[in-house]
């Protein structure tokens, strides 16, 4: 069964390709390599013994997308990761984000409709909730004002799917990720920050590895237990497994409506300081850190109510924060030795 994974060489995409191949799917990957490296294909091969079919393509190239689907019109489903995802950059380059994240989705949906490929999984984010009023956040929490153009593109993406699935044969599932971290146990694939990392975990591992001088903790005066912001950190392999569960729901026509959304997190909130302490304990190193002012646009806290994913998808996370941090560290070390 052929499945297209757009952005399949990215962080979450590559881990999902591994899960799909392990389950026997025939995987095609489209990636424009803008935020990853072709060597990820070797990592996937190292784990699964199989390379997915790879096509280098920018989904903003409408003719290219149309021609790809002309050639591959026997796909059973599409998992759409390809998108830009840096919150700060999206503030600087809004048009790039709308073009890349919204425009490309439209080209993809048009091509899918043309060839009657009706199953789609969409990478969404807990960012669609804005600062939610109630924790844990359930799927029925309303969309608040998004904090960035990036967040708006995810909200718009979901609206596009909802509207389209009403009037076409499209069946879509949006997975709203909380904070994806960690790496495959093999340390053959992981997160590849191309520049200075903006996210917490790669910054922590780079600091421990001596690549960054110190970790700046953004904000020590939040109304949380220790004053630092709280997030729900989910192991990327658990996240990847959520995609295969969602895919089988689509392929077996188990949906309750043509557009569904699921939170994918652990359900547990951890503060930045808790993550730092946990990492120090696992690695047996003291991390050089300093608490500074809050980062603009950050929420106080966000953690998921995952009841819906548990009951409807039969999905439960398997990895703990300890294991996720351990895998992130192993991956960081592998980057030096390769
Ligand atoms: N943080 C630091 N120092 C750093 C980096 C981060 O203290 O060097 C803090 C942040 O202020 C925040 C927490 O660590 O409190 C987590 O920050 P990340 O940047 O790792 O993650 P975010 O929660 O800001 O953003 C992530 C994804 C987005 C997504 C968002 C949804 O990166 O793509 O979750 O909430 F939209």
pLDDT at 155: 98
Q: Say if residues 248 and 24 touch (Cβ distance below 8 Å).
A: no
Taking CA atoms only, the protein residue closest to ligand 1 atom 14 is: 200
| Residue 300 falls inside a structural domain | no
Q: Say if residues 176 and 125 touch (Cβ distance below 8 Å).
A: yes
Q: Is 150 a catalytic residue?
A: yes
Q: How large is the average pLDDT for residues 281-290? A: 96
Q: How large is the average pLDDT for residues 174-183? A: 98
Per-residue pLDDT tens for 31-80? 999 999 999 999 999 999 999 999 999 999 999 999 999 999 999 999 99
Domain ranges, residue 75: 2-182+233-265+305-319
Cross-strand partners of 5: 29, 79
- The pair phi, psi for residue 76, each rounded to 5°, is -95, -20
pLDDT at 240: 98
Percentage of the chain modeled with pLDDT above 90: 94
CATH code of the domain covering residue 165: 3.40.50.720
Which of the following is catalytic: 97, 150, 233, 319? 150
Q: How large is the average pLDDT for residues 129-155? A: 95
Q: How far separated are the first and last CA of the chain, in Å rounded?
A: 34
Residue 200 alpha carbon to ligand 1 centre in Å: 6
pLDDT at 193: 76
* 28-32, 178-182, 258-262, 294-298: the lowest-pLDDT one: 294-298
- The domain total for the chain is 1
pLDDT at 177: 98
Residue 252 alpha carbon to ligand 1 centre in Å: 36
Per-residue pLDDT tens for 84-107? 998 889 999 999 999 999 999 999
pLDDT band, residue 337 (cuts 50/70/90): low
**Alpha carbon distance 187, 296 (integer Å):** 33
| Residue 83 falls inside a structural domain | yes
| Residue 197 falls inside a structural domain | no
**Residue 19, pLDDT above cutoff 90:** yes
List C-alpha distances in Å: 165 to 2, 104, 219, 259, 298. 22, 17, 41, 6, 32
Taking CA atoms only, the protein residue closest to ligand 1 atom 30 is: 127
pLDDT band, residue 195 (cuts 50/70/90): confident
pLDDT at 214: 97
DSSP character string of 302-327: E-B--HHIIIII-------HHHHHHH
| Residue 40 falls inside a structural domain | yes
| Residue 279 falls inside a structural domain | no
Q: Say if residues 182 and 324 touch (Cβ distance below 8 Å).
A: yes
The pocket around ligand 1, CB under 6 angstroms, is made up of: 85, 87, 125-127, 179, 198-200, 203, 215-218, 229, 231, 272, 295, 298, 302
**Alpha carbon distance 329, 173 (integer Å):** 32
- Record the pTM: 0.97
**Residue 296, pLDDT above cutoff 90:** no
- Do β-strands 230-231 and 270-271 pair in parallel, antiparallel, or remain unpaired? antiparallel
| Residue 121 falls inside a structural domain | yes
Q: How large is the average pLDDT for residues 267-278? A: 98
**Residue 338, pLDDT above cutoff 60:** no
Q: What share of the chain is helix, strand, coil (3-state, %, to 5)?
A: 40, 20, 40
| Residue 105 falls inside a structural domain | yes
- The pair phi, psi for residue 219, each rounded to 5°, is 100, 120
In the predicted model, what is the mean pLDDT of the chain?
Answer: 96
Report the residue among 85, 196, 199 best suited for mutation to probe ligand 1: largest number of ligand atoms under 8 A from its CB: 199
**Residue 111, pLDDT above cutoff 90:** yes
**Alpha carbon distance 101, 149 (integer Å):** 10
Q: How large is the average pLDDT for residues 282-308? A: 95
> In whole angstroms, what separates CA 100 from the centre of its chain?
16
Cα 228–233–239 angle (5° rounding)?
A: 165
| Residue 202 falls inside a structural domain | no
**Residue 129, pLDDT above cutoff 70:** yes
């Amino acid at each position: 069964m052929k499945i297209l994974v757009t952005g399949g060489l990215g962080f979450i995409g590559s881990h999902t390709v591994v899960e799909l191949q392990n389950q026997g799917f025939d995987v095609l990957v489209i990636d424009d390599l803008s935020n990853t490296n072709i060597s990820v294909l070797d990592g996937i091969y190292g784990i699964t013994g199989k390379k997915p079919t790879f096509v280098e393509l920018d989904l903003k190239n409408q003719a290219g997308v149309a021609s790809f689907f002309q050639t591959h019109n026997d796909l059973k489903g599409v998992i759409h990761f390809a998108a830009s995802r840096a919150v700060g950059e999206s503030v600087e380059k809004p048009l790039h984000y709308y073009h890349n994240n919204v425009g490309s989705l439209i080209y993809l949906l048009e091509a899918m409709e043309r060839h009657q490929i009706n199953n789609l999984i969409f990478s969404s984010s807990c960012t669609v909730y804005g600062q939610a009023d109630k924790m844990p956040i359930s799927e029925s929490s309303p969309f608040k004002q998004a904090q960035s153009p990036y967040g708006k593109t995810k909200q718009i993406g979901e609206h596009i799917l909802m509207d389209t699935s009403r009037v076409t044969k499209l069946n879509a599932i949006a997975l709203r990720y909380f904070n994806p971290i960690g790496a495959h146990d093999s340390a053959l694939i992981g997160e590849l920050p191309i520049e200075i990392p903006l996210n917490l975990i790669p910054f922590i591992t780079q600091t421990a590895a001596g690549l960054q001088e110190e970790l700046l903790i953004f904000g020590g005066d939040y109304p949380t237990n220790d004053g630092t912001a709280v997030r729900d950190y989910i192991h990327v392999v658990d996240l990847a497994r959520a995609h295969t569960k969602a895919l089988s729901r689509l392929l077996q026509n188990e949906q309750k409506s043509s557009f569904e959304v699921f939170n994918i997190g652990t359900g547990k909130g951890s503060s930045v300081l808790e993550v730092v302490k946990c990492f120090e304990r696992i690695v047996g190193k003291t991390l050089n850190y300093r608490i500074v002012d809050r980062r603009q646009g950050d929420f106080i806290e966000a953690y998921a109510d995952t009841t819906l994913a548990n009951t409807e998808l039969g999905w439960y996370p398997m990895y703990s924060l300890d294991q996720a941090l351990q895998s992130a560290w192993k991956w960081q070390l592998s980057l030096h030795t390769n």
